[in-house]
Amino acid sequence: MANNQKDTGAKKPNIFVRAGRKLKETFSELKRVTWPTFPKVVKATCVVLVVVVAFTVVVTGINYGLQELLNLITNIGQS
């Protein structure tokens, strides 16, 4: 037998009302954020770029070394 109980709680607002509330909450939260100064942003960006370049150099070096090792192993019988 089907359960035909009525909802005892309040109805859920429609999607547009919920989206509007969420958008309003988001903007009010963004007002409370302490944004970094421009020099801090530039410094952080430089740190990220240096780390990316360093990792690129390391990974490229490892790749080159493994490639040379593979060439050495595969060319042993051909000399």
Q: Could you read off the pLDDT of 63-75 as tens digits, one per residue?
A: 999 999 999 999 8
CB under 8 Å to 12, separation ≥6 — which residues?
18
Q: To which residue do tokens 């780390």 refer?
A: 51
Mean pLDDT for all residues in the chain: 88
Q: Alpha-carbon distance 77 to 27, whole Å?
A: 69
Q: Are the C-beta atoms of 36 and 44 separated by less than 8 Å?
A: yes
Q: Is the dihedral of CA 14, 16, 18, 21 positive or negative?
A: negative
User: Can you read off the two tokens belonging to residue 62?
Assistant: 């490892």
Question: For residue 75, what pLDDT is reported?
Answer: 86
